[in-house]
A and B are shown apart, each in its own frame.
Chain A
């Protein structure tokens, strides 16, 4: 790790962290401000929901969700938070080293007296710090807004903690996969389509898996591994799938180090 690279990288992330955090806080606030009226007319609502086509409910992760309970409602909000977190983390993963190569600043950095592993360490740590700030914002605003809007209702704190604790692994999955893909393709012209593709694509994959009832697709996407509905209903993780995620993270990070330290830095032609 090199403090100067870390600080430089972190500053580069700062604006994006603020933007994502504000967006996520607004998202949670917006949804939870509606919760009191949902809770009031719960019976009516659940009845109405039952009439929706199943595919529609699946697409928004609302099958088998009791929206009248605090965590039932929160699991719905959390799914949207997950989509944001996935795109943010994927974005950092894809841009971690590709941005310097696209903007040709890699020559500057790599001709300095530092090892490539030190560069990657510092960059990863800076991105992880940025993601952790967003993570912390999710924690604070979740607890805050739940308490603000839950009224008389109660909820299981342990289950909420389980949901929130899953964020770290979820973020690292998209960071790691984004990074390793960015090192496998020749050149990334624009990060956004890749990040949207991976983040949103994984979500869609989960939804399709749900609709078609195909378990193979479910095994691939962290949206299924950390499905809020499942965690709320079971009060536990689906442990084998979480372990699968962790091994994907480890493999993609190790592969990234191997690829990055052997990489030819492209030159301006």
Chain B
């Protein structure tokens, strides 16, 4: 079942570009990564799905229903964690969470306390007294307490310490294993790599690629390092080799092509050490970023 769908979604803020002609689909139970540099249109896309803003043209659907027309009803099952969290400063954490829970047509009390304990929230502090990281934790509990079927996470890890990040990822995975679909926007590729099945890459408002993470890595180039006495760069200048570098008897390059050809060439050479690696997402996507 398709949970999220964008059809030629376009948003201009006056003359300023938001996103242009973005189309994609996310299946139920997926963790879909949405990556791009700051200002590329990640938040705009999420805000359109939440009908915080209205599209200039095109449409967006969730669970097969139009996001604007059925917005209030759809949001019963949507959890949202923004990159920057802001809550009513004068409220206590517990009151804010209860206020949040009061919007949903189910009892959220148990899940609320469960999550608060997991996130080590101090429930009786005032929001204004919380550090940024702690506000973020309030955001996480607030976004999950109604057990949504779909999660929008907009650069969710900003402000969380590594320990909390790990807990948070664990939580997202657990939610996902219960069938929750996750839309995860980020500009940090390593976290997308850890979590997501598929990624969409957005740049300057346009979706430039959608790919499965595994295939992306498999079908992409390999990172090769060869060490040996008297190796020269020229020896490895095969078709498909890029970024060829040589220093102190060590040759580094990227290779995309027939692996057998590469192995034969290495075999013919006086080699003392070889390393062939998959590139990280960072390296794959660098050329999209520029």
Assuming the A-B contacts A105-B88, A267-B47, are A111 and B73 also in contact, with contact meaning beta carbons closer than 8 angstroms in the complex? no
- B residues adjacent to A (C-beta < 8 A): 13, 43-44, 47, 50-54, 71-76, 78, 80, 82-84, 86-89, 99-100, 102-105, 142
Task: Provide the residues of chain A in CB contact with B84, threshold 8 Å.
Answer: 104, 268
Query: For the side of the interface on A, what is the size category?
Result: 20 to 34
The reply to whether A103 and B47 form a contact with Cβ atoms under 8 Å apart is no
Tell me the number of A-to-B contacts counted with CB atoms below 8 Å: 64
* Known interface pairs A103-B86, A264-B13; A4-B99 also in contact (CB < 8 Å): yes
Q: In the bound complex, do residue B72 and residue A114 qualify as a contact, i.e. CB atoms below 8 Å apart?
A: yes
Complex: A262 Cα to B54 Cα, angstroms: 7
A115 to B99, CA, bound (A): 16
Q: How far is the CA of A219 from the CA of B13 in the complex (A)?
A: 38
Q: How far is the CB of B193 from chain A (nearest CB, A)?
A: 26
Given A113-B103, A114-B103, A264-B13, A108:B53 Cβ within 8 A = no
Cα distance A112–B53 in the bound complex, in angstroms: 14
- The proximity string for A residues 102-126 relative to B, scoring 1 for CB distances below 8 Å and 0 otherwise, is 0111111011111100100000000
Q: A111-B78, A113-B73, A115-B72 are in contact. Are A105 and B87 (CB under 8 A)?
A: yes
List, in ascending order, chain A residues with CB within 8 A of B142's CB.
108
Q: Does A8 contact B (CB under 8 A)?
A: yes
Q: How far is the CB of B124 from chain A (nearest CB, A)?
A: 17
- CB–CB A107/B82 < 8 A: yes
Q: Please, which residues of chain B bring their CB within 8 A of the CB of A113? A: 72-76, 103-105
Asked whether A104 lies within 8 Å of B43 as measured between CB atoms, the reply is: no
Specify which chain B residues have a CB less than 8 angstroms from the CB of A118 in the assembled complex: 72
What are 23 A-B residue pairs whose CB atoms fall within 8 Å in the complex? A2-B103, A4-B102, A12-B88, A103-B88, A103-B89, A104-B84, A106-B52, A107-B52, A107-B80, A108-B142, A111-B80, A112-B75, A112-B103, A113-B76, A113-B103, A114-B72, A115-B71, A118-B72, A264-B52, A265-B53, A267-B47, A268-B83, A268-B86
Contact at B103–A108, with CB atoms within 8 Å? no
In angstroms, Cα B50 to Cα A215, docked, is 50
* Whole-angstrom CA separation of A46 from B33 in the bound complex: 80
Closest to A8 in B: B99
Cα distance, A8 to B83, chains bound together (Å)? 25
A15 to B101, CA, bound (A): 25
CA distance A108 to B78 in the complex (A): 12
B72 CB contacts on chain A under 8 angstroms = 113-115, 118
